[in-house]
Structure 1
Amino acid sequence: MMVNKKECLACGKELIGRSDKRFCDLHCKSSYHYRKALDETPKFYTKVDNQLKLNRKILKNFNKSGKATVRALTVLELGFNPNFFTHYWKNAKGDVYLFVYEFGFLKKKENQVEKYILIKWQDYME
């Protein structure tokens, strides 16, 4: 009778136990799937989610008091991408603020310099 020796997909050690076993322990299973995920190209959802998180972090960092103005180039150099936002709000003047969760931004040009006016979501905006 011939017995097939199976090896752990992560470390290559001989597997002992069930015939359908693929990993020798939880650590090998976890590391195998982690390495596999790193090798795969990022999914669209992951790219969008990561950009939204980065945008929020940048807006939060520059808007400590609820309202601020920052040069567009400053945040763009940090990886901010204004094409990724979660929703928008239009004020009484007709300005449309784009929001990344609770942090909003409005692009303005002052003295030939592109700037973003940053605000934080308020209850009256609903």
Structure 2
Amino acid sequence: MRIHKMCLYCNTELTGRTDKKFCDPQCKSAYQYQQRKEQPENFYNRVDNQLKRNRKILKEYNKGGKVTVRAKILNALGFNPKFITHYWKNGKGDTYLFVYEYGFLKKKEHHIEKYVLIKWQEYME
């Protein structure tokens, strides 16, 4: 009794080697792409990617050392304030959240949400 093996992607009957899984390289590539798309993204990768995105955005908008920016501008670029690496509390009791060396403090002025952006300094140790 002969068993007919089928291509894992397009279901075409396979000929040739007995361990063959795909009829051609295009089907193999399409199958692997489909598998990656269907699997949920690894939690570590999601967190790492968001931290990198946050850092890049904070770095881009904080050229002067201390800057105030409207929250909606950063949020529109994909900034997510829930992803941080550490925090620092100043003498006034304000808690700055940090993404590596770039920090931010969320505040509201005249009903507009803003972020005060700072860069990590040695005295913050």
TM bin (shorter chain): 0.7 to 0.9
Unaligned stretches of 5+ residues in structure 2: 1-7, 9-18, 22-30
Q: Distance in 2 between matches of 1:50 and 1:86?
A: 13
Return the TM-score normalized by structure 1: 0.72
C-alpha deviation, 1:37, in angstroms: 4.0
- Give CA-to-partner distance per residue, 1:10-35, whole Å, 9 cap, x none: xxxxxxxxxx9x9xxxxxxxxx8777
Partner of 2:90: 91
Q: Distance in 1 between matches of 2:47 and 2:54?
A: 10
- Give CA-to-partner distance per residue, 1:43-91, whole Å, 9 cap, x none: 1111111111111111011001211110011111111111110000000
Partner of 2:5: none
Counterpart amino acid of residue 81 in structure 2: P
SS at match of 2:59: helix
SS at match of 2:105: strand
Q: Distance in 2 between matches of 1:123 and 1:34?
A: 46
Q: Provide the aligned C-alpha RMSD in A.
A: 2.9
Q: Are 2:77 and 1:55 equivalent residues in the alignment?
A: no
Counterpart amino acid of residue 50 in structure 1: N
Counterpart amino acid of residue 51 in structure 2: L
Partner of 1:3: none
Partner of 1:121: 120
SS at match of 2:113: strand
C-alpha deviation, 1:112, in angstroms: 1.4
SS at match of 2:51: helix
- Give CA-to-partner distance per residue, 1:80-119, whole Å, 9 cap, x none: 1111100000001100000000000001111111100000
Q: Distance in 1 between matches of 2:81 and 2:92?
A: 21
Task: Could you list the structure 1 runs, at least 4 aligned residues long, displaced by more than 6 angstroms after superposition.
Answer: 32-35
C-alpha deviation, 1:40, in angstroms: 2.4
Identity of aligned residues (%): 66
